[in-house]
Copies of this chain bind each other. A is one copy, B any other.
């Protein structure tokens, strides 16, 4: 067991402990289900060791999560806006707006709102992430009470499991919606 705890191993350890406690599972029980020694899991969760992928996979299977979910900190459903970048039209431009890790079903919707219209979104399954890309126009969108003004090219991401709505004023809007819903085992 090394003492040079890599930050990655520590993050993974926190992740595992978090998931385990979310399920109300004891460390002993998880180690039993994963076919690992209690000591292994202990050192793993405390970030004191540098686990093998086989070990990680066993834990992932026992926790019923995709392996990659253990490798990144869980994306919290905070509201986040990525503003359209200025039109630097000198050449092709590519930009990563957002990354959602593992274990999701993906739905892509097209949303078209005439001027002075809108509707309330149905709250989706718990854990669902909703991301809006504004193709054209202007609208105000987001969870009730946290509405954000958006223009063409903007991206808005928020937890889709609460009440939310979309509303246009003087201008129509054309929006692409990507829903990422966690899979229920």
Binding site for B on A (CB under 8 A): 6, 8-9, 12, 50-54, 56-57, 60-61, 65-69, 71-72, 85, 87, 89-114, 117-119, 131, 133, 135-136, 152-153, 155, 166, 172, 174, 176, 178, 180, 183-185
Q: Distance in Å from the Cβ of A67 to the closest Cβ of chain B? A: 3
Contact status B53-A185, CB under 8 Å = no
A92 partner, pick from B57, B89, B118, B180, beta carbons under 8 A: B118
Considering only CB atoms, which chain B residue lies closest to A167 in the complex? B92
Considering only CB atoms, which chain B residue lies closest to A90 in the complex? B114
Q: For the complex, what is the distance from the CA of A56 to the CA of B172, rounded to whole Å?
A: 46
- Using A53-B51, A91-B117 as known contacts, say yes or no to A106 and B100 having CB atoms under 8 A apart: yes
